[in-house]
Amino acid sequence: MSERMILLVEDNASNRKLFTDILEYQGYTVVQACDVGEALRCLAVVRPDLVLTDIQVPGGGGELLLARVRDDPSLAATPVIAVTAYAMPGDRERLLAIGFDGYIGKPIQVLQFIQDIQALLSAREGAATAAGNRAAAEDPA
């Protein structure tokens, strides 16, 4: 199995280190960005399996990053998870409604954090495998 890559977009240095340590310990390759501009520059050269973005990041916030990912046909299918502190009632529903694939509140619960990411990646890979199998079955050659 190839190593899976996660683009982590987080302006808070201690959160960035914490999330990176957890993810790297789980075997993921982590690419870090501190703001939306840096994230977009990363996405111009790497294709992560997942984007994990803080909502309150400089350069327009996680919502703008999500919009840019969805607007780019080569990136649009990439799962994007929102990570946010100061959650207000309804935030989770609002973020999922605008197209985030998942929502994680800060401070994170480490095991839940790992499980949420694994579940999302497994669901994506399962769907891709099923589509590949269908394509193979339909191919007379």
Q: Which is nearer to Mn ion, 58 or 126 (CB)?
A: 58
C-alpha angle with apex 37: 34 to 41, nearest 5 degrees?
A: 100
Residue nearest to Mn ion (CB): 56
Q: Minimum Å distance from CB 12 to Mn ion?
A: 5
132 burial type by CB count under 10 A (0-12 exposed, 13-18 middle, 19+ buried): exposed
Q: Which is nearer to Mn ion, 11 or 91 (CB)?
A: 11
**Contact between residue 36 and residue 64 where contact means Cβ atoms under 8 Å apart:** yes
Q: Which is nearer to Mn ion, 67 or 121 (CB)?
A: 67
Q: Minimum Å distance from CB 130 to Mn ion?
A: 36
- Of 19, 14, 5, 3, which Cα lies nearest the Cα of 83? 19
48 burial type by CB count under 10 A (0-12 exposed, 13-18 middle, 19+ buried): buried
Q: Which is nearer to Mn ion, 4 or 106 (CB)?
A: 106
Q: Minimum Å distance from CB 61 to Mn ion?
A: 9
Residue numbers at the binding site for Mn ion (CB under 5 A): 11, 54, 56
Q: Minimum Å distance from CB 48 to Mn ion?
A: 19
